[in-house]
Amino acid sequence: MRLIWLCFLLLLGSGCGWWQDDKGVFVNREDDYIDVVERRPLIIPNDLEAGQVADPLPIPPANTVLNAEYYPVEPPRPDAIFASDNRDEVRIQRLGARRWLVVPEPATTVWPKVRQFLAENGVGIAWEDPRYGRIDTQWLEIADGSYRDVVRSVISDMKGEVGLGGGEDRVLLRVEQGLRERNSEIHLRYQNTEFEDADTTQVRDLNTVPTVAAEIETELLNEMGAYIASKVSEQSVSRAAQVISAGVKSEVTRDSTGEPVLALRLDYDRAWATIAQALNRAEVEVVELDQQSGTYHVLIPDNVFTGQTTGWFTGLFGGGQEYDLLLRFKKTGDNQYYVSVLDPQEQPVERALSQEVLAMIREFSS
């Protein structure tokens, strides 16, 4: 009887593995990734549309690690992705008298939608350069009256409000890369020949064109934003506009000493306001700021990075770590600044923490 029981226990022990091996009832797939090999790309027949085929589980591209020699033991972690309530909305952004449209799509899909908006409203294009995202419309003769398209209707209805009685009208547009990945900006200027600075022939840099009728520009941006939002499911891609996406306005990179920095390719006023807005959206407490020296003194709770809310029990005893940090601006070129993270003694903090803070700021920027 003892021998029988001993044989039974041996069989039972050896059979437990059978329940969880690769051929048993419950297959263990924890280490399946080790044996995965990349298959050949899918071949699409010539008579089928390749644009409809998409990878359901794409592997995100890895960012190039700069100054890798500063990370001999542990490589820097990939940038975190932070949630923002309005990151998927088409909206107008304001800074003083400046207005622009923020679209949560890459420039390669925004460019054809802008051109389609003009075409459906019967507005001709006099000049365009997709490499720089620039469009100048034809001059339009718009008088008082009712029009079927929104562009002429907006201009006709609002010209009197801004003190314009006649003249020809046109719109200048520029599509740019946004502050975040897969994010674009649309800048717009309205011109009328009654203004002395409205050149009827010359192609103008949008940064040199003053805003002469902010109300008209804002309403045209509203109409264009509503149009693009309604076309969100349409994803036609312009290959000619791929150069626009190369003009990155912000990125987390490394300086010459290997310290993480947030590179902002903006003018100082917008760069400063961008950081303030990002901190406000992330609900980070700003203790003190000094625009003259380019410094933000902030307190960042660790739940900003973890996404976990502090429970009542932990909060009762003052739980949860808080980082006391300085954000310092440094000019590195024309309309280019580095933002670095320092401790209260103005010394660099741990690089992993610095990269998390800068990635958070970039994700909440617009």
Tell me the CATH number for domain 96-241. Answer: 3.30.310.80
> To the nearest whole number, what is the mean pLDDT of the chain?
80
**How remote is the C-alpha of 334 from its chain's centroid?**
22
pLDDT tier for residue 210 given thresholds of 50, 70 and 90: confident
Please report the pLDDT score of residue 310 as a whole number: 53
94-108, 227-241, 280-294: the lowest-pLDDT one: 227-241
Phi, psi for residue 180 in degrees, rounded to 5: -110, 165
31-35, 104-108, 129-133, 183-187: the lowest-pLDDT one: 31-35
In this structure, CATH architecture of domain 68-74+249-363 = 2-Layer Sandwich (3.30)
Please report the pLDDT score of residue 54 as a whole number: 67
% of the chain at pLDDT higher than 90: 36
Cβ 20 vs Cβ 28: under 8 Å: yes
Tell me how far apart the alpha carbons of residues 168 and 149 are, in angstroms, rounded to a whole number: 17
Tell me how far apart the alpha carbons of residues 303 and 310 are, in angstroms, rounded to a whole number: 7
Q: Is the pLDDT of residue 1 over 60?
A: yes
Highest mean pLDDT among 19-28, 68-77, 251-260: 251-260
Residues of the chain with CATH 3.30.310.170: 68-74+249-363
Residue 127 is encoded by which pair of tokens?
Answer: 């000049």
The amino acid sitting at 267 is: D
pLDDT tier for residue 231 given thresholds of 50, 70 and 90: confident
Closest CA to 253 of 333, 338, 328: 338
Please report the pLDDT score of residue 84 as a whole number: 55
Residue 95 is encoded by which pair of tokens?
Answer: 């800074």
Cβ 103 vs Cβ 90: under 8 Å: yes
Closest CA to 219 of 175, 183, 188: 188
Residues of the chain with CATH 3.30.310.80: 96-241
Closest CA to 358 of 268, 241, 269, 279: 279
Highest mean pLDDT among 226-230, 231-235, 240-244: 226-230
pLDDT tens-digit readout, 77-103:
555 556 555 557 888 998 888 899 999
Phi, psi for residue 355 in degrees, rounded to 5: -65, -40
The whole model's pTM is what? 0.72
